[in-house]
Amino acid sequence: MIEQTKIRGFSQLETDEKRKIIAQACFNNQHEADYFNEFTLNDKALQETFEQFSENTLTNHHLPFGVIPNVRIDDRIYHVPAVIEESSVIAAAAKAASFWFDRGGFKTIDERFVKNGQVYFSWNNTDKWLETNKNKLFSYLKNATSHLTESMEKRGGGITGFDIKKLTDNNLDAYKLTVYFNTADSMGANFINTVLEEIANALPLFAEQHNMNEPEIIMAILSNYTPENSVTLELSCPVEELTWNSTLPPKQFAEKFVKAMQIAQNDVSRAVTHNKGIMNGTDAVVLATGNDYRATEAAVHAFASEGGQYSSLSKAEISDGIFRMQLKLPMALGTVGGLTKIHPTASLALKMLNNPTAPELMKIAAAAGLANNFAAVAALVSTGIQHGHMKLHLNNILMSENATQEQRRLAKKWFANRTVSVQAVRAFLQNHNEMAQ
Ligand code: MEV
DSSP string, 241-258: G----TTS-HHHHHHHHH
Helix (H) or strand (E) holding 200: helix 189-209
- Per-residue pLDDT for 263 more than 90? yes
Residues 216 and 241 placed together within one structural domain of the fold:
no
Residues 238 and 250 placed together within one structural domain of the fold:
yes
Residues 318 and 187 placed together within one structural domain of the fold:
no
CA-86 nearest atom, ligand 1: 2
The answer to whether residue 67 is domain-embedded is no
Burial of 264 (0-12, 13-18, 19+ CB in 10 A): buried
Q: Which of 383, 402, 425 is the last residue of a domain?
A: 383
Q: Minimal CA–CA distance to 370: which of 161, 133, 142, 68?
A: 68
Neighbours of 207 (CB within 10 A): 21
Out of 385, 386, 389, 392, give the residue to mutate to test ligand 1, the one with the largest number of ligand atoms within 8 Å of its CB.
Answer: 385
CA-88 nearest atom, ligand 1: 2
CA–chain centroid gap for 188, Å, is: 16
Q: Which pLDDT belongs to residue 5?
A: 83
Residues 315 and 339 placed together within one structural domain of the fold:
yes
Q: How far apart are CA 340 and CA 289, in angstroms?
A: 6
Selected residue with higher pLDDT from 250 and 395: 250
Helix (H) or strand (E) holding 354: none
Q: Minimal CA–CA distance to 15: which of 54, 63, 69, 70?
A: 54
Could you tell me the pTM of the whole model?
0.92
385-406 mean pLDDT? 86
Residues 107 and 241 placed together within one structural domain of the fold:
yes
- Per-residue pLDDT for 388 more than 80? no
The average confidence (pLDDT) of the chain is 95
The answer to whether residue 71 is domain-embedded is no
Q: Minimal CA–CA distance to 336: which of 156, 120, 166?
A: 156
Residues 212 and 325 placed together within one structural domain of the fold:
no
Q: Which pLDDT belongs to residue 106?
A: 98
Selected residue with higher pLDDT from 35 and 286: 286
The answer to whether residue 79 is domain-embedded is no
Share of the chain above pLDDT 90, in %: 86
Number of domains in the chain: 4
Residues 260 and 334 placed together within one structural domain of the fold:
yes
> How many CA atoms lie within 13 Å of 247's alpha carbon, on the beta-carbon side?
11
Residues 334 and 427 placed together within one structural domain of the fold:
no
Q: Which pLDDT belongs to residue 33?
A: 79
| Closest C-alpha to ligand 1, atom 4 | 277
Q: Which pLDDT belongs to residue 434?
A: 82
Q: How far apart are CA 32 and CA 97, in angstroms?
A: 43
Neighbours of 43 (CB within 10 A): 10
| Closest C-alpha to ligand 1, atom 2 | 277
Q: Which band of pLDDT confidence, cut at 50, 70 and 90, is reported for residue 417?
A: confident
Q: What residue numbers bound the domain in which 269 lies?
A: 85-112+229-383
CA 186–ligand 1 middle distance (angstroms) = 31
> How many CA atoms lie within 13 Å of 104's alpha carbon, on the beta-carbon side?
13
pLDDT tens, residue by residue, 309-326: 999 999 999 999 999 999
Q: How far apart are CA 195 and CA 147, in angstroms?
A: 10
Share of the chain above pLDDT 70, in %: 99
- Per-residue pLDDT for 105 more than 60? yes
The answer to whether residue 77 is domain-embedded is no
pLDDT tens, residue by residue, 25-36: 898 887 777 889
Q: Which of 196, 222, 248 is the last residue of a domain?
A: 222
Contact 374, 278 (CB under 8 A): no
The answer to whether residue 144 is domain-embedded is yes
pLDDT tens, residue by residue, 167-176: 999 989 899 9
The answer to whether residue 68 is domain-embedded is no
Contact 241, 250 (CB under 8 A): yes
Residues 189 and 177 placed together within one structural domain of the fold:
yes
- Beta carbons within 8 Å of 338's beta carbon, 6+ residues apart: 186, 187, 189, 290, 291, 292
Q: Which pLDDT belongs to residue 3?
A: 61
Q: Which band of pLDDT confidence, cut at 50, 70 and 90, is reported for residue 416?
A: confident
Residues 215 and 256 placed together within one structural domain of the fold:
no
| Closest C-alpha to ligand 1, atom 6 | 277
Residues 144 and 206 placed together within one structural domain of the fold:
yes
111-127 mean pLDDT? 97
Q: Which band of pLDDT confidence, cut at 50, 70 and 90, is reported for residue 433?
A: confident
The three-class DSSP label of residue 108 is: strand
The three-class DSSP label of residue 238 is: strand
Q: Which of 173, 201, 222 is the last residue of a domain?
A: 222
Question: Which domain CATH number covers 130?
Answer: 3.30.70.420
The three-class DSSP label of residue 415 is: helix
- Per-residue pLDDT for 144 more than 90? yes
CA 276–ligand 1 middle distance (angstroms) = 6
Q: Which pLDDT belongs to residue 2?
A: 53
Selected residue with higher pLDDT from 410 and 32: 410
Q: Which pLDDT belongs to residue 372?
A: 98
The answer to whether residue 270 is domain-embedded is yes
Out of 87, 263, 276, 382, give the residue to mutate to test ligand 1, the one with the largest number of ligand atoms within 8 Å of its CB.
Answer: 276
Q: How far apart are CA 150 and CA 130, in angstroms?
A: 27
Q: Which band of pLDDT confidence, cut at 50, 70 and 90, is reported for residue 238?
A: very high
Q: How far apart are CA 74 and CA 71, in angstroms?
A: 10
Q: Which band of pLDDT confidence, cut at 50, 70 and 90, is reported for residue 265?
A: very high
238-264 mean pLDDT? 96
The answer to whether residue 165 is domain-embedded is yes
Contact 60, 346 (CB under 8 A): no
pLDDT tens, residue by residue, 183-199: 999 999 999 999 999 99
Contact 115, 183 (CB under 8 A): yes
Residues 145 and 204 placed together within one structural domain of the fold:
yes
39: DSSP letter: T
